[in-house]
């Protein structure tokens, strides 16, 4: 590509090239969950994100904006596969997953179905990425899964207890916790204390951020932090791409 090729800033609605496939996950209790797998066009995958969305009873779904932008950008920018899906009973433009919202542990089967799918597809270097309610599912049910570690965005720690933090601690798997300064549920000082039982957790306060990470500035902070954890040599991400690549 010519060095003087016109460049365009990556913006909120920028969609970069990827292979995007509608997928269906089947849980151990027989439910079908709708989702999408986005992979690099090159076929070379350096890491895989298995994402778990915010609380569906408060508007969370597989298209919650940080997860959607991860799928739009990271396959091209960082050779990362992004698996998104609607947990049981959750709807999005992709469709509605079977079952009903539980919030008390049944979504652990949804997480296990996503990890099993990733393993069956041979997707390498698997990481759980939970946001809000998705962090609860990750903490409660992800420690014993065949993943390399976890990234937690805005964890409320409403459902996950100390026993779950201890379980993750015993695995030794790395856990990065991004905590907004102005989070509605758990702010950095309290997070430092609450996550103490998860001894290897890296709690990262994010100045000026709020629970929903609204604004391109904060999306970039989150995506850079994810990439720095799972494929460090790809971080930080570029903020511009050749205009010809923008959908």
Question: pLDDT digits over 85-138, tens only?
Answer: 999 999 999 999 999 999 999 999 999 999 999 999 999 999 999 999 999 999
What is the pTM assigned to this prediction? 0.97
pLDDT of residue 139: 98
- The fraction of the chain above a pLDDT of 90, given in percent, is 98
Q: Kindly indicate the confidence band of residue 4, based on its pLDDT and cuts at 50, 70 and 90.
A: confident
pLDDT reading at 14 higher than 90? yes
pLDDT reading at 5 higher than 90? no
Distance in angstroms between the alpha carbons of the first and the last residue of the chain: 18
List the structure tokens of 111: 């997480």
pLDDT of residue 3: 62
Strand-pairing partners, residue 126, are: 48
Domains of the chain plus CATH, in order, are: 21-231 (3.40.50.1820)
pLDDT reading at 247 higher than 90? no
pLDDT of residue 2: 52
Q: What is the mean pLDDT of residues 11-33?
A: 98
Pairing type for strands 80-85 and 7-9 reads: unpaired
Question: pLDDT digits over 147-199, tens only?
Answer: 999 999 999 999 999 999 999 999 999 999 999 999 999 999 999 999 999 99
Q: Which CB contacts under 8 angstroms, 24+ apart, belong to 42-45?
A: 42/79, 44/79, 45/79, 45/80, 45/81, 45/123, 45/124, 45/125
Q: Kindly indicate the confidence band of residue 62, based on its pLDDT and cuts at 50, 70 and 90.
A: very high
Q: What is the mean pLDDT of residues 28-38?
A: 98
């Amino acid at each position: 590509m010519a060095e003087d090729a016109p460049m365009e800033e990556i913006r909120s609605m920028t969609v970069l090239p990827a292979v995007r496939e509608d997928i269906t996950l089947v849980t151990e209790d027989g439910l079908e969950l709708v989702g999408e797998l986005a992979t690099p066009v090159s076929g070379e995958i350096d890491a895989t994100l298995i994402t778990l969305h915010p609380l569906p009873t408060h508007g969370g779904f597989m298209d919650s904006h940080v997860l959607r932008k991860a799928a739009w950008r990271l396959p091209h920018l960082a050779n990362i596969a992004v698996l998104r899906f609607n947990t049981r009973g959750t709807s999005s433009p992709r469709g509605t997953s079977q079952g009903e919202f539980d919030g008390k542990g049944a979504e652990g089967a949804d997480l296990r179905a996503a990890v099993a799918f990733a393993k069956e597809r041979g997707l390498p270097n698997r990481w759980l990425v939970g946001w809000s309610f998705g962090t609860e599912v990750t903490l409660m049910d992800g420690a014993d899964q065949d993943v390399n570690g976890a990234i937690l965005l805005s964890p409320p720690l409403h459902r996950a207890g100390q026993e779950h933090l201890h379980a993750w601690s015993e695995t030794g798997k790395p856990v990065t916790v991004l905590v907004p300064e102005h989070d509605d549920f758990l702010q950095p000082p309290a997070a430092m204390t609450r996550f103490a039982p998860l001894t290897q957790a890296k709690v990262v306060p994010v100045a000026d951020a709020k629970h929903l990470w609204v604004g391109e500035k904060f999306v970039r902070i989150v995506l850079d932090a994810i990439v720095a954890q799972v494929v460090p040599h790809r971080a930080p991400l570029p903020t511009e791409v050749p205009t010809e690549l923008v959908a």
